[in-house]
Amino acid sequence: MFHAPFPHGWSLMNKPEFEFFPVSHIDWTPLLDSRCGGLSERILATDPISGVSTRMLRFAPGTDTTPNGVLTHDFWEEVYILDGTLHDLTLEQTFTAGMYACRPPGMPHGPWSSPQGCLTFEVRYPG
């Protein structure tokens, strides 16, 4: 028998409650912490207390994130490629739609190039 880890109605998550809706109702916004152009995000849900967020990230065709260098961060990140391709310039590997990555805090990744463009779905949460 399954027992929920928390009493009914209580959770550690403070994301808003949404029923299905078209994500096109949320605008794309340029990624402000990037040193390169061509990146925009669509924040689907976020918990301002814990920092947990769900977003879509769009690489415009021709985007090259070399100016951002290799990235590491202090949170978990799960990424699923919905459309297009990403080429990791450090690993010299190309990743395509249908591929998934799970990165623990501190895991180096990138920089990336995306000649044709790319769309990802990401979930980020504290480490």
5 located within any domain: no
Q: Among 117, 48, 108, which residue's Cα sits nearest to residue 77? A: 108
36 located within any domain: yes
- Domains: count for the chain: 1
83 located within any domain: yes
Which domain covers residue 116, as residue numbers?
Answer: 27-126
Q: What's the pLDDT at 55? A: 97
34 located within any domain: yes
pLDDT tens per residue, range 56-102: 999 999 999 999 999 999 999 999 999 999 999 999 999 999 999 99
Please compute, for residue 34, the number of CA atoms within 13 A of its CA located in the half-sphere on the CB side: 20
Q: What's the pLDDT at 51? A: 83
Residue 18 has pLDDT above 70, yes or no: yes
Task: Respond yes or no on whether the N-terminal peptide bond of residue 111 is cis (omega within 30° of 0).
Answer: yes
4 located within any domain: no
Q: Give the predicted TM-score (pTM) of the model.
A: 0.86
pLDDT tens per residue, range 33-54: 788 889 999 999 999 888 889 9
Sort 120 into a burial class: Cβ within 10 Å, 0-12 / 13-18 / 19+: buried
- C-alpha to C-alpha distance for 93 and 117, rounded to whole angstroms: 16
* CATH code of the domain in which 100 resides: 2.60.120.10
